[in-house]
Structure 1
Amino acid sequence: MLFPRSGRAVQNLSAAGMSALLLASAMKHFRDPAFYRPVVPDYLCREDAGAGQSPAPAHPLAILSRDEWIAVSGLLELAAAVAILVPFTRRLAATGTALMFTAFLAGHLDALRRAYGPQGNPVQRKVHTLRLPLQAPLIAWAWSLRTRGVRAGGGAEL
Structure 2
Amino acid sequence: MSLRWSPKATHTVSAIGLGALLLASAAKHFRTPAFYYPVVPDYLCRRDEPGSRPNGPLAVMSREEWVASSGLLEVAAAVGLLVPATRKVAADATTAMFTAFLAGHIDALRRAYGPKGTPAERRIHTVRLPLQIPLILWSWSLRK
Q: TM-score normalized by structure 1?
A: 0.88
CA-based RMSD: 1.2
Total equivalences in the alignment: 144
Aligned to 1:155: none
The one of 73, 76, 81 aligned to 1:76: 73
**Counterpart of 1:17?**
17
Structure of higher RCO (CA pairs closer than 8 Å, 6+ residues apart): 1
State the 1:59 CA deviation. 1.1
Q: TM-score, normalised by structure 2?
A: 0.96
Equivalent residue letter for 2:103:
A
Residues 48-97 of structure 1 show CA distances to partners (whole Å, capped at 9, x for unaligned) of 12xxx344132111000000000000000001111101111000001000
Runs of at least 5 residues in structure 1 that lack an aligned partner in the other structure: 148-158
Q: Which consecutive segments of 4 or more residues in structure 1 shift more than 2 A?
A: 1-4
Of 87, 90, 100, the residue aligned with 1:90 is: 87
Is residue 130 of structure 1 aligned with residue 127 of structure 2? yes
Distance 1:3 1:82 in 2: 29
- Return 5+ residue gaps in structure 2 as ranges: none
SS in 2 for 1:84: helix
Looking at structure 2, the residues matched to 2 and 120 of structure 1 have their Cα atoms a distance apart, in angstroms, of: 56
Aligned to 2:27: 27
Partner of 1:152: none
Deviation, 1:2, is: 7.6
- 1:143: how far off? 0.3
Q: Which AA in structure 2 matches 1:28?
A: K
